[in-house]
Structure 1
Amino acid sequence: MQIAKTVSELREIVREWRSAGQSVALVPTMGNLHPGHIALVNRAKEKANRVVVSIFVNPMQFGVGEDFETYPRTEREDQEKLNISGADLLFLPTVSEVYAQNAKTTVSVTDLSEWYCGASRPGHFNGVTTIVCKLFNMVQPDIALFGLKDFQQFTLIRTIVRDLNIPVEIIGVKTVREISGLAMSSRNGYLTPEEKNVAAKIYQSLCTARNAILSGQQSYEEIERQGVLFLLESGLQPDYFCICRASDLKKADIDDIELVLLTAAKLGKTRLIDNLCFTKHEAA
């Protein structure tokens, strides 16, 4: 596996691949890789000739008082995992390589970036969409792969690609979970074994809500209220629990068929997110 630390090194390698007629996939990450990230790499290898993985802890998507300084950085272990997985290139830039001094340009998606996690983390998604656009410009991949654990982020990225006519195919990869159902996340490393058992209640709350909808329960407000209550009683601090249309993340109504349940909650200082997508089949 090759390693590039500058945009010029990255572009030179990709240029050689392009000259050989090879397609390129990008897997953007912030490092501290777990099996969910490796699933993205494996899917990327199926879809393209060459796979670029970026590791960059993006300061622009962390708010005041969040965990930018303490976010787990495991560069050596990550390189070993990527070597084993068969990634072709690791892009490992510094902050000064990514952001020009006194940079004035950001990429923002109206409304959608301000809902749900965006309401609790002002400016977070502007940081996400800006770095993703920058990575697309740096790598110029044919395909980019993102985990579906952060469904709001995935929806935002699809939106910027559509709205800005970026020639990249966006592929979402199913959330990888621990045996308990807890969605794998780099921030799970902050949790004790006991806290992980509590955190698994998040997925349980989503499954309970899905089952209520599929059984015909009509009051989405009541299902959401019960979801929040279950998280509270489990020892979590819920931020939101919402039943949404999968297409645009607006609040769902009873006639919507493609749904996604979105939730976020804190356990101590650790903020956890999860979602569950499903199709509500109309009664025959």
Structure 2
Amino acid sequence: MQILTTATGLQAYTEQARQTGKRVGLVPTMGALHAGHLQLVQAARTDCDEVIVSLFVNPTQFNNAEDFRLYPRVPEADAVLLEPAGCTALFVPSVAEMYPLPTVLRFDFGALEQVMEGAHRPGHFNGVATVVSKLFHLARPHRAYFGQKDWQQVAVIRQLVADLSFDLEIVACPTIREADGLAMSSRNLRLDAAARAAAPLLHRVLTEAAAQVRDGVMPAQVRAAAEAALAQEPLVTPEYFEVADAQTLQPLAQYVTGRNVVLCLAAHLGGVRLIDNVVVAA
């Protein structure tokens, strides 16, 4: 596994791979890797000859300076996990390398970013789109891999790829969960014992809500029941719970035949913000 720290080094590495007919896979991450990330790497290794993993805590997608400061950073431990998972090159740039000048570009994803994460984290998806665009330009992957836990992010990136005609395929892999249902996340490392014990409630609420959707319970009632269940746990401070169209991400007043539903939530536990979702097939 090669370690790359510069944009020119990454470009040279992937250009050589392309010239020799190799397929390039990219797994963008912010590090503090867990089994969900490793699943993405393994999927990329199955599909591609070269697997590039980026480790970069991107400052432009944080609207909370304290969240950025506290985000787990364990690059040495990450590197140990990556090689046996199938990573062939690890890209670990500095902030100055990725942003030699302040970025002024602004993306507008319309209705996709006006709900849920976009509504509660102003500027977040602009930062995501900026860094992902940079990585796509530098690595020129044939495929890029993302986790479905960040359902809205995947939707935004698909729109980015379509709008800017990036010549690559986005592959979304299922959410990997702990035995008690908690979605794996780098932020889980910050949960204290009490918050960690309360955290599985998020998935239980989503599971119960999904059952209600399948039973035809109207979206407003599903939202109300989920919000009431979350409110019963003092350590959980809900930010949102939404019943939305899985493709447009717009909140639903009623179900549409043939359209999947996505249930999304965000909540704070002991100062740590977690998100999760469950998709209900039409």
Q: TM-score, normalised by structure 2?
A: 0.96
Superposed CA offset, 1:60-92 (max 9, x none): 011144311121110100010012212000011
- Taking the aligned partners of 1:123 and 1:59, their CA distance within structure 2 comes to 11
1:227 matches 2:226: yes
- Taking the aligned partners of 2:94 and 2:119, their CA distance within structure 1 comes to 29
Instruction: Please give the root-mean-square deviation of Cα atoms over the aligned residues, in Å.
Output: 1.2
Q: Secondary structure at the match of 1:105?
A: coil
- Taking the aligned partners of 1:18 and 1:70, their CA distance within structure 2 comes to 37
Cα separation, partners in 2 of 1:46 and 1:220, compared to 1, 3 Å = same
Maintained 8 Å contact 1:113/1:126:
no
Counterpart in 1 of 2:208?
Answer: 208
Spell out the pairing of 1:47-58 with structure 2 (5 A cutoff). Answer: 47-58=47-58
The AA in structure 1 aligned to 2:26 is L
Spell out the pairing of 1:141-180 with structure 2 (5 A cutoff). Answer: 141-180=141-180
Q: Secondary structure at the match of 1:25?
A: strand
Spell out the pairing of 1:69-84 with structure 2 (5 A cutoff). Answer: 69-84=69-84
Counterpart in 1 of 2:279?
Answer: 277
Q: Secondary structure at the match of 2:26?
A: strand
- Taking the aligned partners of 1:23 and 1:275, their CA distance within structure 2 comes to 31
Maintained 8 Å contact 1:264/1:273:
yes
Q: Cα offset for 1:194?
A: 2.8
2:269 alignment partner, one of 267, 272, 275? 267
Counterpart in 1 of 2:186?
Answer: 186
Counterpart in 2 of 1:254?
Answer: 255
Q: Cα offset for 1:48?
A: 1.0
Q: Cα offset for 1:200?
A: 0.6
Counterpart in 1 of 2:12?
Answer: 12
Q: Secondary structure at the match of 1:213?
A: helix
| Unaligned residue ranges in structure 1 (runs of 5+) | none
Cα separation, partners in 2 of 1:108 and 1:134, compared to 1, 3 Å = farther
Counterpart in 2 of 1:120?
Answer: 120
Q: Secondary structure at the match of 2:66?
A: coil
| Unaligned residue ranges in structure 2 (runs of 5+) | none
- Taking the aligned partners of 1:184 and 1:199, their CA distance within structure 2 comes to 11
Q: Cα offset for 1:111?
A: 2.8
Q: Cα offset for 1:171?
A: 0.5
